[in-house]
Amino acid sequence: MAKAKKTVTVLIADDQTLFREGIKDLLEDEKGIQVVGEASDGPQAVELAKKLKPDVILMDIKLPKMDGISATRIIRKQCPNTNVLVLSGYEDESHVTEAIQAGANGYLSKMLPAAELVNALKTFSSEGVIIPQPIMGKLLQGLRQMGPRGYDNAPDSLTATEIKVMALLGKGNSNKEIAAELNCSVKTIKNHLNSIFQKLGVNNRTEAVVRAIEKGIISPEDGQ
C-alpha cells in the first residue's frame, strides 16, 4: 500500500488582512496543504509557531511590534522543525542576506503569480528550501559584499563530488536535477547532502550554500 502524503500545515504571518485572506483562500483550495493559523505581527507569529508547530510559516519581513527577520530568528531556535519561507516585497541584498542568516529556509517575492507561489510552496515542502535564481543572486551578492568570514575550526574537507553538489545547489537545482547532472540516483544525492550538512555543521541546503561560500569551498560566482 502506498504511503499517504503528509498534509503540510502552514501559518501565514503578514500584517495586511486582505493579503493573508487571499493567501489563505488560495492555499485552502490545494490538496495536501492546510492553513492552521494567521498572525498579524511578529510576537503573534512566534506565539502561534510555538503553539501550532506548523510545518511552514509564510513570513513577511515588515511586521508590527517585531519584524519578520527577528521573529524568524526566534522561531528557528525555539521551533527547529518549523521551516520559515519569507514572502516579501523586499528583494534587495541586505534583506535577503539577513533573512537567510536568521534561519529562513527560503525567500520568495510577493510579486509571484498565484500558481507559482503554490508550486513553490509544494517544492519547498519536499525539498526543505527554495530560493529562486534571481533571489539567490541577491543572496550571493550580499555575501560577497560582507567578504570572507572564515572558520578556524573547519571540519573535514568536502570530497570532489560533494563540492560539485554544492556548486549545483548554489545554482538553485533540486535533488532530482543534481542527480541527473551527476548521473546518479536521488538517494545518492541525499546521502551526499547528509554528509555535507554534517561536515559543515548546518541543518539545511540554504545554510550549506551560505557556509560553503563563507568557507571558500565554492565561490559566489558558482551560484550565478
Q: Which of 101, 136, 117, 15 is nearest to 56 (CA)?
A: 117
Rounded to two decimals, the pTM is 0.67
Distance of alpha carbon 112 from alpha carbon 116, whole angstroms: 6
Return all residues near 130 (Cβ < 8 A) that are at least 6 apart. 85, 105, 106, 107, 108, 120, 123, 124
State residue 122's pLDDT score.
76
Q: Which of 85, 30, 22, 76 is nearest to 56 (CA)?
A: 85
Distance of alpha carbon 181 from alpha carbon 65, whole angstroms: 46
Q: What is the CATH number of domain 8-133?
A: 3.40.50.2300
State residue 80's pLDDT score.
85
Sequence spans of domains, the chain: 8-133, 148-223
Contacts 24+ apart (CB under 8 A), 108-113: 108/132, 108/135, 109/135, 110/19
Cβ neighbours of 13 (radius 10 Å)? 29
**pLDDT string in tens for the chain (224-residue length):** 444 567 889 999 999 999 999 999 999 888 888 999 999 999 999 999 999 999 899 999 999 999 999 999 999 889 988 889 888 887 667 777 788 878 887 888 888 888 888 877 877 665 555 665 556 655 655 555 555 444 444 445 788 898 888 888 877 777 888 899 999 998 998 898 888 888 888 777 777 877 777 777 776 554 44
Cβ neighbours of 79 (radius 10 Å)? 18
Under 8 Å between Cβ of 189 and 161: no
State residue 141's pLDDT score.
59
Distance of alpha carbon 160 from alpha carbon 221, whole angstroms: 18
Where does the chain have alpha helices with state H? 17-28, 42-52, 68-78, 93-101, 114-127, 133-146, 160-170, 175-182, 186-200, 205-214
Under 8 Å between Cβ of 205 and 172: no
CATH 3.40.50.10090 fits 148-223, yes or no: no
